[in-house]
Amino acid sequence: MLRSACPAAAPTGVARLDAQGVEWGDFNGTKRAIDAGRADGVRQVFFRDPDGYLIEVNDAATRQLGYSRDELLGMPLLNLVPPDRVGDFRRVQDVLKREGHLLVEAAQRRKDGSVIPVELAVSFITLGGQPVFLAIARDISERRKSEEHRRRLEEQLQHASKMESIGRLAGGVAHDFNNMLTAILGNLDMIPRKQLEGESIEEPLAEIREAAISASAMTRHLLAFSRKQVVEPQLVDPNELLERMQRMLQRLIGEDIELRTVKGEGLGTIRVDPSLIEQTIVNMVVNARDAMPDGGVLVIETADVMLGSEYHQEHPLVPPGRYVMFAISDTGTGMSDEVKSHLFEPFFTTKPRGQGTGMGLAAVYGTVTHHRGGLAVRSSIGSGSVFSLHLPLYRHDGPLHADASGPQIAVTTAAASILVVDDEETVRITLGEMLRRAGFAVSECVDGPAALTALRAEPDRWDLVVLDLVMPGWSGRETFARLRQERPGLRVLVCSGFSRDGDAQALIDAGAAGFLQKPFRRRDLLAAVALALGETPPSG
């Protein structure tokens, strides 16, 4: 082999023939040229034979690795590889044999056992008709230190940005919730006065209900934004959804803005979570309202549209086909190209601090893409804006599912016995009262162990368990497993205001009778209970 015929003491640059006829003059000339080109002494230069043994090195290699030249010549290159990187070394050799050259970041083990990171360039060359590998290594320890320093600075900046975003979010949420609480508390104060004066309390109760629904929508929006919410898709008529929202939207935008709705004819149905789509429309309407501080016209239009390849090129996740469009147009101030470029970024807002969360349109984008739809925006300064929301048409010839906002459900299984399990006392009492007034026999438990005790005491009594998912001690998931182990096939309706990723879906996959997102109204609860008990709620 080459290594056996290359005397370490051979004079540099002297041409001679070894026993195998290899002329080493060209070898030494190549080495001398490389060394001349690396006068800074930073780069290590190695020659090795095909078996992996070193046959020549430069001074930088001896200096940086701590070996003498005599020690390195004839040494297996593998000796310079840290033990934990041997697998990487062998994979690199495989690539080198296939490609003939390689540039990679690697690590070297020095004579004292320390390890240094290097950038390694390796090429296959032929010298004197013999295959040789030329490797040039550069110590990148300082670069790694600089990169680590930059990474730490970036982490600090990201942390500072994150804290600023959280502060902005908290201010916006506090602003919106305080508005809702003001409406609730103010109307609660008005109810006794109206009762004393013999006036109807229907209006303040309606205002309280609307504020509570808005607060509920905000929490659902936050959960959807953080992907902690279980989406509950239903078949929905787009025009009916818009009709249902119209009164609320008019009150939302105020008297200075004219609301016009244009409902397309012959629309198909869409399969969506109606509460998320409603909140999406609300967010876009609120942005349109804020863009018209001196009043204007807001138009909401529905239409059946065909999206082609041109739209698909701009929105790769939206395949060509038929879609139902919701278009929200305003005559407001419009947006610059700079604002549009950041429009859907989380926490981006042009509103003053504390007025809005800065996550509305980011969540809009998330909701739309989750429903496999698209969102297009047209706007320019002084010319208003148009947001076009496209949701895929759902081809279905049967009747739509009952909508949660329809007539209250008349549950016929009044003899059913229900066990309510929730650690929050006010929630537990409220659920029990709503179910009792609907004619059910109800018992309440504060946690999983109490529920298991109740089930063991009367194993044949319970037709349904209404179970909170997030509880101290036994979680809802663990309680579900223990109850089903005690009584396989037990019907369990899972409820939660917040759940860890996958918990609710895991229980549904495991056989839960349904999932109900808190907060919910009485009709939502009774509809879910009816379905869990095997009944189909009538559709109006």
pLDDT at 223: 60
pTM value > 0.75: no
pLDDT at 528: 86
Q: Which of 504, 414, 510 is nearest to 467 (CA)?
A: 504
> Residue 419: pLDDT above 90?
yes
Q: What is the mean pLDDT of residues 276-285?
A: 82
Reported as a single tens digit per residue, the pLDDT across 460-508 is 899 999 999 888 888 888 999 999 999 988 999 988 876 555 667 778 7
272: tokens are 């969506």
> Residue 154: pLDDT above 70?
yes
Q: 138 has which bridge partners?
A: 43, 119
Q: Which of 130, 163, 147 is nearest to 19 (CA)?
A: 130
- Does residue 382 or residue 289 have the better pLDDT? 289
Q: How far apart are CA 538 and CA 408, in angstroms?
A: 9
pLDDT-derived band at 175, boundaries 50, 70, 90: low
User: Per 3-state DSSP, what percentage of the chain is helix, strand, and coil (rounded to 5)?
Assistant: 45, 20, 35
Q: Is 205 helix (H, G, I), strand (E, B) or coil?
A: helix
Q: What is the mean pLDDT of residues 97-110?
A: 82
| Percent of the chain's residues with pLDDT above 70 | 74
pLDDT at 34: 47
- Does residue 357 or residue 92 have the better pLDDT? 92
> Residue 77: pLDDT above 80?
yes
DSSP secondary structure, 206-263, as one string: HHHHHHHHHHHHHHHHHHHHTT-S----EEE-HHHHHHHHHHHHHHHH-TTEEEEEEP
Q: How far apart are CA 225 and CA 270, in angstroms?
A: 21
pLDDT at 221: 56
Lowest mean pLDDT among 68-82, 155-169, 254-268, 416-430: 155-169
Q: What is the mean pLDDT of residues 88-102?
A: 79
DSSP secondary structure, 4-49, as one string: GG--TTPPTT---B-TT--B-HHHHHHHHHHHHHTTTS-EEEEEE-
pLDDT at 224: 53
pLDDT-derived band at 447, boundaries 50, 70, 90: very high
DSSP state of 540: -
Q: What is the mean pLDDT of residues 7-24?
A: 32
> Residue 247: pLDDT above 80?
no
422: tokens are 């929730």
> Residue 20: pLDDT above 70?
no
Q: How far apart are CA 139 and CA 146, in angstroms?
A: 13
pLDDT-derived band at 454, boundaries 50, 70, 90: very high
CB-based burial, 365-392: b 16+ in 10 Å, e otherwise? bbbbeebebbbbeebeeeebbbbbbbbb
298: tokens are 């807001």
pLDDT at 27: 46
Q: Which of 273, 384, 401 is nearest to 328 (CA)?
A: 384
Q: What is the mean pLDDT of residues 252-279?
A: 84
pLDDT at 414: 52
